[in-house]
Copies of this chain bind each other. A is one copy, B any other.
């Protein structure tokens, strides 16, 4: 790893957005499944609506995902990765590989 100015560190900036395990697991869902509704995410991840809503809002405000509203009856919203979100692929791959090689099966 390169030397880093801690006051303006890219790792800190990245983890201001991808801040915790839930954020990472939410992003994983988009890589696995593409566009996702709120209820899809909730049923796969088993997290509280408040927690999910909070993490989605941060990811959306940060430009990692965006939300599309379909004018159907009933109206339907889907979230999906932006280009900036898709650029997290190497982070997810690195976590996957480290987890595979360095952690026991659950």
Interface residues of chain A, those whose CB is within 8 Å of chain B, are 1-4, 6-21, 24-25, 28, 31-32, 44, 62, 84, 87-106
Contact = CB atoms under 8 A, between A and B. Distances in A.
The 5 closest A-B pairs by CB, nearest first: A10-B99, A14-B99, A13-B103, A15-B21, A90-B94
Contact of A21 (B19, B44, B92): B19
A10 B87 contact: no
Nearest to A46: B6
B14 A28 contact: no
Given A8-B105, A96-B2, A15 B24 contact: yes
A1 B103 contact: no
B102 A11 contact: no
